[in-house]
């Protein structure tokens, strides 16, 4: 299980991306399949997502397709997402 914590402001930035890049609505769709601690996406609270390995790999593959560039995001959030992607064990084969 992987963990990713996002503040309300960080989630708003991903909402703003929308369908322009993977790290918008496609990332939202994957994250909302995960355990969100019974907190709504629009909540003011920080949400720590518990991400199963198969979804983590889907997220990593989506980030890789965009060369981990995270267009239109500030450096802090872009680095947080890169760190998450790099935390996925690269020596393990992605699940089918």
Strand-pairing partners, residue 31, are: none
CB neighbours of 30 closer than 8 A, spacing ≥ 6? Answer: 55, 58, 59, 62
Between CA 47 and CA 10 the distance in angstroms is 10
pLDDT at 62: 95
Query: Among 41, 48, 45, which Cα is nearest to 4's?
Result: 48
Residue 27 falls within a domain, yes or no?
A: yes
Strand-pairing partners, residue 50, are: 3, 35
Calculate mean pLDDT across residues 17-25.
Answer: 95
Please tell me what DSSP assigns to residue 44: S
Residue 96 falls within a domain, yes or no?
A: no
Residue 79 falls within a domain, yes or no?
A: yes
Residue 80 sits in which domain range? 2-87
pLDDT tens digits, residue range 36-69?
888 999 999 999 999 999 999 999 999 999 998 9
Residue 95 falls within a domain, yes or no?
A: no
């Amino acid at each position: 299980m992987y963990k990713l914590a996002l503040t309300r402001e960080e989630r708003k930035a991903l909402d703003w991306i929308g369908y322009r890049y993977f790290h918008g609505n496609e990332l939202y769709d994957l994250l909302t399949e995960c355990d969100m601690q019974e907190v709504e996406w629009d909540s003011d609270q920080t949400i720590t997502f518990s991400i199963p390995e198969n979804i983590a790999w889907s997220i990593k593959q989506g980030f890789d397709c965009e060369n981990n560039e995270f267009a239109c995001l500030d450096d802090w959030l872009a680095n947080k997402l890169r760190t998450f992607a790099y935390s996925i064990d690269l020596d393990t084969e992605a699940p089918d």
